[in-house]
């Protein structure tokens, strides 16, 4: 059963990486969020991630107001929330691995919920998962409503070294090449072994090794082809327009909200206001 479960996880990962091209399709839509400058969205998202990760490990209620930012990006950008959450779930095992042992290492009681005693380990574990969902959701929404090429161009104008920008674009673009190779290998295995025959984890390991070798060979051919066409190490992208009033408003409003939400527990304040416990 463990082997079958591992194989299913690998299949899910493969399917999600193959469908990564949908992010570019979403980025070509037209919405108020899509029309914002890539630099403005990058600055606000970076501020969002810094603010979320700066909270103490046991804080959960203070993080709740920050969910507004990815929700606004997703809804205003017309992005399919279900597809975004599928991509979040693919990376969820890494977050689970980070906080898996927290409940075992920190058994100090910190709260009582009826007959249940909540320990610090469980709070920190929940906080890790919540931070993971917020930051990954915001990052995916940023790429989906901007596009990788516009985003990297904006980061370069913000000061990202050109060599890093080029490497980032190569990494993103080459994912599609590797995914195509994986699709062809999987199709060949299905034709030879039959679609009804379940593949073992050992076979998937062998496929990954062959995929690595094919990727290295393809990379050499791509590199030679680019040199023959005069590639000089710079990927030229369309420059974005100067900042306008709506971009400054987005940056100022977003960062101001993050500062306020970081300085004060807005969720707790709203809860006290609704229960009438504010004197």
Give the whole-angstrom CA distance, residue 16 versus residue 211: 17
- Domain range for 64 is 2-264
In this structure, how many other beta carbons lie within 10 angstroms of the beta carbon of residue 75? 13
Q: Per-residue confidence of the chain (279 residues) as pLDDT tens digits?
A: 444 444 444 444 444 544 566 777 888 888 999 999 999 999 999 999 999 999 888 888 889 999 999 999 999 999 988 888 888 888 788 888 877 777 777 777 766 666 777 777 788 888 889 999 999 999 999 999 998 888 888 888 888 888 888 888 888 877 777 777 777 777 777 777 665 566 677 777 777 888 888 878 888 888 888 888 887 776 666 555 778 899 999 999 999 999 999 998 887 777 777 776 554
Residues ≥6 apart with Cβ < 8 Å to 21: 176
| 277 in any annotated domain | no
| Overall domain count for the chain | 1
| 273 in any annotated domain | no
| 192 in any annotated domain | yes
Structure tokens at 35: 């029309």
| 270 in any annotated domain | no
Give the whole-angstrom CA distance, residue 125 versus residue 176: 34
**Are residues 256 and 57 in contact, defined by beta-carbon separation less than 8 angstroms?**
no
DSSP codes, the chain: -HHHHHHHHHHHHHHHHHGGGHHHHHHTS-STTTTS-HHHHHHHHHHHHHHHHTS-TT--GGGGGGGHHHHHHHHHTT--HHHHHHHHHHHHHHHHHHHTTHHHH---EEEEETTEEEEHHHHHHHHHHHHHHHHHHHHHHHHHTT-HHHHHHHHHHTT--HHHHHHHHHHHHHHHHHHHHHHHHHHHHHHHH-TTSPPPHHHHHHHHHHHHHHHHHHHHHHHHHHHHTT--S----PPPPPP-HHHHHHHHHHHHHHHHHHHS-HHHHHHHHHHT---
Residues 206, 209, 213: CA angle, nearest 5 degrees? 140
| 101 in any annotated domain | yes
| 80 in any annotated domain | yes
| 269 in any annotated domain | no
| 272 in any annotated domain | no
Give the whole-angstrom CA distance, residue 162 versus residue 217: 26
- State the Cα torsion 48-50-53-54 to the nearest 10°: -120
Structure tokens at 213: 């070798």
Q: Give exposure, 181-194, as e/b (b: 16+ Cβ within 10 Å).
A: bbeeebeebeeeee
**Are residues 148 and 23 in contact, defined by beta-carbon separation less than 8 angstroms?**
yes
């Amino acid at each position: 059963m463990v082997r079958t479960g591992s194989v299913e996880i690998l299949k899910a990962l493969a399917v999600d990486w193959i469908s990564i091209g949908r992010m570019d399709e979403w980025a070509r839509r037209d919405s108020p969020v899509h029309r914002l400058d890539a630099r403005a969205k990058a600055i606000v998202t970076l501020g969002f991630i810094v603010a979320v990760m700066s909270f103490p490990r046991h804080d959960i209620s203070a993080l709740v107001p920050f969910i507004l930012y990815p929700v606004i990006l997703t809804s205003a950008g017309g992005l399919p929330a279900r597809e975004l959450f599928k991509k979040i779930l693919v990376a969820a095992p890494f977050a689970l691995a980070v906080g898996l042992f927290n409940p075992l290492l920190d058994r100090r009681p910190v709260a009582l919920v009826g007959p249940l005693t909540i320990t610090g380990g469980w709070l920190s574990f929940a906080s890790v998962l919540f931070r993971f969902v917020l930051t990954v959701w915001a990052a995916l929404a940023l790429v989906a409503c901007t596009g990788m090429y516009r985003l990297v161009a904006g980061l370069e104008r913000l000061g990202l070294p050109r060599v890093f920008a080029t490497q980032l674009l190569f990494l993103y673009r080459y994912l599609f090449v590797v995914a195509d190779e994986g699709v062809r290998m999987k199709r060949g295995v299905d034709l030879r072994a039959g679609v009804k025959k379940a593949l073992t984890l050992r076979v998937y390991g062998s496929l990954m090794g062959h995929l690595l070798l094919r990727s290295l060979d393809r990379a050499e051919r791509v590199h030679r082809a680019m040199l023959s066409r005069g590639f000089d190490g710079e990927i030229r992208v369309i420059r974005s327009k100067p900042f306008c009033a709506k971009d400054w408003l987005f940056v100022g409003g977003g960062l101001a909200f993050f500062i306020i939400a970081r300085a004060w527990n807005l969720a707790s304040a709203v809860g006290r206001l609704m229960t009438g416990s504010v004197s």
